[in-house]
Structures are given as structure tokens and as C-alpha cells.
Amino acid sequence: MKAVLVRHLQNALGALGQLSRQPVSTALTIAVIGIALALPAGLQVLVQGAQRFAGSWQEIRDFSVYLRPGTTLAQAKALAEELGKRAVIEEVRVIAANEALADFRADPAFGDALRVLEDNPLPHTLVIRPDAAATTTDLDALRSELSARDDVDLVQLDTQWLSRLAAILDLVRRGVWFTAVLLAGAVIVIVGNTIRLDIQNRRREIEVSKLLGASDAFVRRPFLYIGAWYGILGGLLAVVVLSLGLLLLGGPLSRLLALYGGQFTGFGVDLATIVLVFGGGLLAGWAGAWVAVARHLSAIEPRV
């Protein structure tokens, strides 16, 4: 077992030395692989950061229930407590009419007009946050039930917008994964083509090795390590590109999020992303080398 491990270590270091003897072509191949890995990883980082910034989009799903004039604050709180026990509802917040009036009066656009009113025209309001698992069907049924109540004046719920939002999020996620699969395929093709050229350049060496009794597995192993090194080094470059990209975007993103009352948090290359990039690069590089070796190595036989 020790001899096998030593042999694998020798092949791994030998493959790395082989790459170092071709610095220009190696650098170009690693650059292409790094960019191909960085693109889907960057999209995924931005999508995850946007979801964290938006509170996983839960605030966008919130809807309002306006109670009829004359409904007391105690009745509004009782209804909120009753609705809060529903499985499809995560949270219910009561906005008293006096609180809503104070907020409107603080707004210059409405303050002067509301000051001339003797009575408060605003009703008590319930702001309902649905559970993440709630479907548009569940919310439609809840809206119908609330609208039929005598103490409810209006339910402001746009289920069509929720359907659009869910479709947009699903499209973005699928787009990221589809892009990742396409670019992983491109990495396999790039590594496979590079290994194919390397096999052709070392054709005589392979023929001699087979003539001396070397098995296909013995001849194949160095090329697989070359493909693995391409993937690892490409993954390292992808992480560097991601970090530099987020560093350059940090200032504009901070200013943009500040306009919406947020902070530049959640946008970063976390450990899961790093592992995914390196793992994807390693698998794609190894797969590309395996495909090239399986296709071209069997065609090389020693001439006696």
C-alpha cells in the first residue's frame, strides 16, 4: 500500500512538473478554465447575496388586511392572534390607525392635507407574512376567507405577482445551474483537447512503455493527474477572480444597498462556494483527461 501511495505521489508531482515545463500553454488553459468556473460561481454568489439581503424574499410576499372603520384595536389584535395560529401564516403584525396616521403626517407629501382633518380616516391594518411553504392556492383561499368577514374592508394581496416572483426565482436558479453545466462541459472539452495533444506529443514514450510491459492504467495515471491539476489550478484562479470581482463591486453595491436601507453583507465567497468551485474544477479536469485518454490511448500500440 505504501508503494502504491508513493507511486501516486510521484505521478502527481511529475504531472505538476510537466505543466511547469510548458508555462505559456498551461497558463492559457488554466485561465480559460478559471473564467469558465468563475462565471456560474459568481452568479450563484450574487443570487445568494440578493436573497439574504431581501430576507429570502419574504417581505415581498407580505400582504395587508384593512379592517372596517369602527373596528376596535382590541378586535384587530384578537384577529391577528387568531390568524397567527394558521399553518400558512408565519407572522401577523398590527398597525394601529394612530400609528399609520403619525407616519403619514411625517411625510411631507401628506402631512399638510392630514392636519386639516378632525378625525382619523385610516383603519387598523394587519400586515400578514405567509409561511415560506405557502402556495398561491393557499393564499387565495385565505384572501377569500378574510374578504368574507364582516370586520374586513379590503384584502390587498396580489397572488399574480407572487406567481411571477416564484417563476423569476426558479428561472434564475435554473439558469445558474444550466450555465454551470454548460461551462463544466466546456472545461471537459478544453482539458480533453489539451490532454489529447499531450498524448500525441508523447506517443513514442507511450509506445516504449507499453513495449516494456506497462499496463494501460500505468500509462493513463499521469495524464489523469495532469487533468486534475488543470482543474485545481483553474478553481484557484476562479476563486481569485471571484474575490477580486466582489472587491471591485463592493463600493457600488454598498452605495446601492444604502439607498434601500441595507448594508453590504452576505455578498462574499464562503467556504461552500470555494469547495464547490474546487470540486467542480477537479471533477471536470479529471473527466476531460479520462475521456481523452480512453479515446486515444487504446489506439497507441507498440510496433514490434
Contacts of 46 (CB under 8 A, 6+ apart): 267
Opening angle at CA 140, ends 138 and 144, nearest 5:
120
pLDDT of residue 139: 84
Q: Are 184 and 286 in the same domain?
A: yes
Domain boundary among 138, 158, 178: 158
Q: How far is CA 114 from CA 102, 109, 118, 124, in A?
A: 10, 10, 9, 17
187: containing domain: 2-56+165-296
pLDDT of residue 110: 59
**Does residue 304 sit within a domain?**
no
Q: In terms of residues, how long is the chain? A: 304
From 158, 173, 202, the end of a domain falls on 158
Domain final residue pick, 107, 127, 158: 158
Whether residues 171 and 278 fall in one domain: yes
Cα–Cα distance between 131 and 222 in angstroms, integer? 54
Both 171 and 274 in a single domain?
yes
Residue 267: the pLDDT is 61
DSSP code of residue 263? -
Pairwise CA distance, residues 146 & 132, whole Å: 20
> How confident is the model over 73-124, as pLDDT tens digits?
999 999 999 999 888 898 999 999 888 777 766 666 555 655 666 667 778 9
186 and 290 share one domain: yes
One domain, residues 190 and 48: yes
Question: Burial of 91 by CB count in 10 Å (0-12 exposed, 13-18 middle, 19+ buried)?
Answer: middle
Give the rounded percent of residues in the chain with a pLDDT score beyond 70: 78
Do 36 and 183 share a domain, yes or no? yes
- Based on the fold, state whether residues 39 and 185 are members of the same structural domain: yes
Residues 154 and 171 in one domain: no
All residues at 6 or more sequence positions from 25 whose CB lies less than 8 Å from its CB, including other chains: 194
Among 56-60, 102-106, 220-224, 245-249, the range of highest mean pLDDT:
220-224
C-beta of residue 93 within 8 angstroms of C-beta of residue 126: yes
Specify whether 246 is located in the same domain as 198. Answer: yes
pLDDT digits (tens, 9 = 90+) for 274-284: 888 888 889 99
pLDDT of residue 200: 82
Mean pLDDT of 283-291: 89
Query: What is the predicted pLDDT for the residue at 229?
Result: 92
User: How many independent structural domains does the chain possess?
Assistant: 2
Same domain, 275 and 173: yes
Residues 166-225: pLDDT tens digits?
A: 677 678 878 888 888 888 888 898 888 888 888 888 778 777 777 777 777 777 888 889
Q: What is the predicted pLDDT for the residue at 60?
A: 62
> Is residue 95 domain-resident?
yes
Is the confidence at residue 21, as pLDDT, over 60?
Answer: yes
Q: Quick one: 119 and 144 in the same domain?
A: yes
Looking at the fold, whether 51 and 102 belong to one and the same domain comes out as no
Structural domain includes residue 302: no
Q: Is residue 108 part of a domain?
A: yes
3-state secondary structure of 2: helix
pLDDT band at 126 (very low <50, low <70, confident <90, very high): very high
